[in-house]
Amino acid sequence: MTQAQLQMECKQCGCPADINNDSTKDEFDINCGRCGSHHSQKYEHTLVSIGPMKVEKELDGYGVSRVTMLDGISQNTHYTDPLTEDQINIYQSMFNSPHILNDQSYVVIYTPDGHKTLFGNPPKDFFLSYQEYIKKYHSEVIDS
């Protein structure tokens, strides 16, 4: 297996970010489920290049959301642009409606000041930094 799913400290918010790594191809894909930032590197064939060309993509995160419907189906969204007023109004009416599970849904925005919960309830440990997360995870391993 050359594919590995790991976690690393998010460059933007310091929380655990998911990294998909293919070391044989020098490619990776990092997504933070706390702030929504994205960083990837892959090799692609383009019309102008003879061989595959390295394509690096880095997008700032502006927040994340999870909306869980009554049937349990949920949708996760990462924002690489600030939420518009229209989007916030749509979420407001969703979270005021009986059609979603409020306790399993959330909208968290990310600004230079940090995370801010706009609606709903982020899961326990959501705002732990990567270091805090590792410390907690390790102490649980030692305790058990």
What does the binding site for Zn ion look like in residue numbers (CB under 5 A)?
10, 12-13, 32, 34-35, 37
Q: How far apart are CA 32 and CA 7, in angstroms?
A: 9
- Using alpha carbons only, give the angle 67, 70, 75 rounded to the nearest 5 degrees: 25
Give the residue with the Cβ less far from Zn ion, 34 or 94: 34
Give the residue with the Cβ less far from Zn ion, 99 or 136: 136
E strands, 72-121, are 74-79, 106-111, 114-120
Shortest Cβ distance from residue 34 to Zn ion (Å)?
5
Shortest Cβ distance from residue 12 to Zn ion (Å)?
5
Tokens of 13: 């918010």
Query: Which whole-number Å values give the CA distances from 139 to 5, 142, 144, in the listed order?
Result: 22, 5, 9
Give the residue with the Cβ less far from Zn ion, 8 or 69: 8
Shortest Cβ distance from residue 49 to Zn ion (Å)?
32
Shortest Cβ distance from residue 46 to Zn ion (Å)?
30
Give the residue with the Cβ less far from Zn ion, 34 or 66: 34
Task: Spell out the alpha helix ranges (H) of 3-129.
Answer: 85-96
Q: How far apart are CA 116 and CA 127, in angstroms?
A: 10
